[in-house]
Structures are given as structure tokens and as C-alpha cells.
Amino acid sequence: MTDAELEAYVNATLALQGFTLDDERRARVVATFARNAEIARLVTGFDPGELTDPAPQFVP
Amino acid sequence: MNGPDRAAGEDRSAPATGPVDVAACARAVAQGSVSARSLTEAVIRRIARRDPHINAFTAVTAERALRKADAIDAARARGAALPPLAGVPFAVKNLFDVAGLPTLAGSRLHERRAPATVDAVLVSRLEAAGAVLVGALNMDAYAYGFTTENTGYGPTRNPHDRARVAGGSSGGSAAAVAAGMVPLTLGSDTNGSIRVPSSLCGVFGLKPTYGRLPRTGSYPFVASLDHLGPFGTCAEDLALAYDAMQGPDPADPACAGRPLAETLPALADDGPPLRIARLGGYFDDWIGDEARAAVEAACFALGVRDLVELPEVARARAAAFVISASEGGTLHRETLIRDYDGFEPHNRDRFIAGALTPAPWYVHAQKVRAWFRDRVREVFAHWDVLIAPATPVPATPIGEDWLELRGRRLPLRPNLGAFTQPISCIGLPVAAVPIEGVSALPIGIQVIARPWREDLCLRVAARLERIGIARARITGEDAWK
């Protein structure tokens, strides 16, 4: 995802969810989301296998 | 156990009213060497004297506490059997419901809310065991933080160096014990919020297995990761409190219907030999000198020679991060839309960004979490207890944004939880144990066991105390001169 695509996603999702932020606040959320996306890549870049289902209630 | 000494010159007429441990408080009240009222009054005076320097408390429930103390004294006077924690003062993180108080969860916005009408289940259970609630404690707003630098209520200061953080998000809970104000507190731990402040303040903490203690009547952060647990001055404090709080609760859907599994007997350490290993790999990569010294000292004392590497720890931590961001952001989305300006500046953008998390990230994170759980279960086929650092470094200065660690410059606040987050991600029980003699400021380790074996965590914690390298650091009157 390019920076522009990421920013477009954040802007669209903010609007979809009902947030109305000024440009400064929006920029901070974009930067935070970009960091989240980087961390999420560690998760999405790993294949835990087809049979691993997320439990609706986690039991350790 | 190694309870702290009483503060010199304090409350000389009432021998057990200094900052002693839970068992000593209960014993003194049961034997009549001190009344529950005089113990409670002494604690309230101590909070009034010390807390202005620490900012651990957001409310002191003096009237309620004295009522409860009088009831205990009356029961004793008429010869009734006292419950095990009779007269023991305790306080709770302000995300626990306390009847008559708004449940702040660290947020000024919640001051407008109606006061709770009933106590949280764990508060009720401790009071049923005779403990006396004396107040509510500061925290990171909505439990999203590791430092308790709360904008609305001010930072909680580390009792060992008031220019430094107490850790978080249960910073008030750890600091109140470390400052000798109360011997017992409750906190919550989603990604490390009991273990991080325990380490930085030099006290003991217990994060039980996910689903062990009911969360009914506590304000959530991340429902699929939230745990509640105690802080204390020694392993025995934790065992006494934890044993009094166990038991199923149908009102918390995550709470397991497991029978009481007492941990106090395990402290005698006379069970079968334990297979203990040290966690390496990821846990060695991100460790500072003091934390490494603490782990090495504990492992040397326990005779631990084996190093174990868990697979994909960084991904497990990332999974916990994604789940926390998504669930936490969703929880607060409407409040943030309505009242962005009133929300904690330290975490409002993080909550909003979390609310935007794509569903596939979240679902994949839950899958990674389940995968990691299964791999770690395999490790526990060979080991009973694993030792790991609790925090990469001791307490950092209030306001500090960055952490220099082994040549790397890292954002400080999220990385205080680098070692705790992967463990709570899969709900394992952990005792946070303060290790003495390795650094000027306190630093702790994690003692980790397989699910439902809190007894093993506390057994090893007690062994480390007995050996003499684990000890809570409680500040005395000298700290205020």
C-alpha cells in the first residue's frame, strides 16, 4: 500500500465511521494508522494454517 | 515472607499500623494487637501524608473504610470468627466499580457518569474476606498506556524516584504499595499493565490466567485480553488475595467455571521438583543491562541453565497490538466522535486509528494468537516455569518519549510492554517478581507458567524471596525528609 493509498483508506474510513477531524488531527491519525499498518504486516505476513480459527471466546 | 519494615517512628502506640504485609495486618487484627479501626485510621493518615508526593489515589473512601473496620472490630468483640483478610487495607485501580463513586477508568469524561451502585465482583470478594477498601487509584486513561502519565489526573510518580514514571497502566496500584500506603491493591493487565508497574515500582504482582478472575464490574479495555489481578509486598500477599478472589462468575462470559485452586499451600515449595528454563531469543534481543542482570540473578539462584526460544514472539506481540487497537478503538469510537477534545491526548489518536483497523487484520491476529498458544503449549510439555524479563529497563523519566536500547532508538511508551505483551496475548499466568541487588532503581522479572498454574508462579516467587534475591522495595518515612 502506498502512502497515498493508506491516506485515502484512512480518510474514507474516518468518514464512514462518522469522524470529522480537522487536518492536523487527521494527519496524526494517518501517521498512527501507518504505524499500525507496519505492525499489522507482521501478523498478516504469517500463515498460521487453514485450520486455525479465531475463537469467539478465547480459551488459553 | 519478606514483608517490608515498618516506617520508623510511625504510629508507635499501635504496633501493627506501619506498612506491613497482608498476613501481618490480618494477624494483628485477628489477635487483637491492633483494632481494625486504628489500622484503617493509620492508613488513611499515611495516604494523606504521602500521596500528595506520589499521586496514586484519585479517591479515598475513608467513611466507608471506617464503617467496615468498625464492623470487624464489633465482630471480634462478640467472639465471631474473623474472615482471613479481616482488617487488611486495600485499594483498587479506578476502573473497578466502587459503589458511590463514578468509575473513572482514568478519564475525566467519566466524572459526569452516575456513581456505581454496586461494587465490582473482586472488590466484593475481598471485602467478604474481611479486607477494607480505602480508595481508588490512578491509571493511564482507559488503560491504554504503560506509564500512568495521565493528563486529566496528573502522572503517578515512582516512589523510588519521583521524577520517573510508575509504569502503567496500573501505575497507581503499584505506586500505592511501593510507597507503603497500602499492602494490597488490585489492577488490570491487558498487555502488561500489572507486570510493567510492578517491575518499575519494585513490588510483586500477579496476572492470573485469562478467564480465572471475573471482570464483572470493571471497565473494559480489550475484552478478549483483559485480566485483573493483585499487587502486594510479597508472594504471600498475592496468594492470600488471589485465593480470596477466585471462583466462577456467570456474569463474565470469559470467566472459566473452574473450582478454587488454592495457591497459599504452594508457597511452602515442597512439591515435586520444577523444570525451569529461561526465555531467550526475542527476550534477549530487546533487553537492557539491568533487566538482563535481574534475569541472570534469578536464574542463577534457581539453578536454571536451559534457554528456551518461543517461536514467532514478535508476531504474537503484533497480534496483541492489533487486537488491542481494534477492540479498544471500537469500544471508544462513539465517545471520540462526540468528545475528541475531552479525551486523553496521549491515546485518542491511537484509539481512532485502532477503530479503523480492517477486519482481516483483526481476524488474522486472532489466528496468529491461537497458533502461538498452541506452540507454547508444546513448550510447556517440557517445562513447568519460564523466566523472562518484565520490562526492558527500570523506570524512565516522566515525559520521556524515547528509549535508547542496545544502539537502537525506540518509542518508549509502547516498548515498556515488549516482554509482557506476547505472554498476556495467550493468557498465561505470570508473577511479576522484584529482583534485588542488580540496579539502583527497581526492576522485575516474569515468572510464567502454563494456564491455570498460578500456584507454580507464586511458588517460584516465594522461593526467590526465601533465597533472598526477590524483595519488594517499599519507601519509608525517610523518603519524605
What tens-digit pLDDT sequence spans chain B (481 residues)? 434 333 333 333 333 345 589 999 999 999 999 999 999 999 999 999 999 999 999 999 999 999 999 999 999 999 999 999 999 999 999 999 999 999 999 999 999 999 999 999 999 999 999 999 999 999 999 999 999 999 999 999 999 999 999 999 999 999 999 999 999 999 999 999 999 999 999 999 999 999 999 999 999 999 999 999 999 999 999 999 999 999 999 999 999 999 999 999 999 999 999 999 999 999 999 899 999 999 999 999 999 999 999 999 999 999 999 999 999 999 999 999 999 999 999 999 999 999 999 999 999 999 999 999 999 999 999 999 999 999 999 999 999 999 999 889 999 999 999 999 999 999 999 999 999 999 999 999 999 999 999 999 999 999 999 999 999 999 974 433 3
A44 touches chain B (CB under 8 A): yes
- In this complex, do A29 and B370 lie within 8 Å of one another by their Cβ atoms? no
B380 touches chain A (CB under 8 A): no
A27 touches chain B (CB under 8 A): no
* Distance (Å) of CA B453 to CA B208, B239, B242, B273, B303: 9, 12, 12, 15, 21
Q: By the 8 A CB rule, do B370 and B312 touch?
A: no
What residues of chain B lie within 8 A of the CB of A10, using their CB?
A: 353, 356
Distance CA B174, CA B198 (A): 6
Residues 6+ apart with CB under 8 A from B144: B169, B221, B324, B328, B344, B347, B350, B351
- In this complex, do A36 and B355 lie within 8 Å of one another by their Cβ atoms? no
Predicted TM-score (pTM) of the model is 0.95
Q: What is the pLDDT of residue A55?
A: 61
Q: What is the pLDDT of residue B286?
A: 85
Judge residue B32's burial from the number of C-beta atoms within 10 Å of its C-beta, 0-12 exposed, 13-18 middle, 19 or more buried: exposed
Q: Is the four-CA dihedral B445, B448, B452, B454 of positive or negative sign?
A: negative
Tell me: the pLDDT tens digits for A18-29?
999 999 999 999
Q: Show the low-confidence residues of chain A (pLDDT under 50).
A: none
Distance from the B345 Cα atom to the nearest Cα atom in chain A, whole angstroms? 11
State the residue for C-alpha cell 518509542.
Answer: B411
Distance CA B423, CA B43 (A): 35
Residues 6+ apart with CB under 8 A from B271: B459
Q: Is the four-CA dihedral B424, B426, B431, B437 of positive or negative sign?
A: negative
Quote ipTM for the complex.
Answer: 0.93
Q: What is the pLDDT of residue A56?
A: 58
Q: What is the pLDDT of residue B406?
A: 86
State which amino acid sits at residue A31: A
B53 touches chain A (CB under 8 A): no
Q: What is the pLDDT of residue B182?
A: 96
HSE-CB for B125 with a 13 A CA cutoff: 22
Distance CA B250, CA B360 (A): 31
Q: Which three three-digit cell numbers place residue A25?
A: 488531527
Q: By the 8 A CB rule, do B131 and B184 touch?
A: yes
Q: How many A-B residue pairs are in contact by the CB < 8 A criterion? A: 100
What residues of chain B lie within 8 A of the CB of A48, using their CB?
A: 364, 367-368, 370-371
Q: By the 8 A CB rule, do B474 and B180 touch?
A: yes
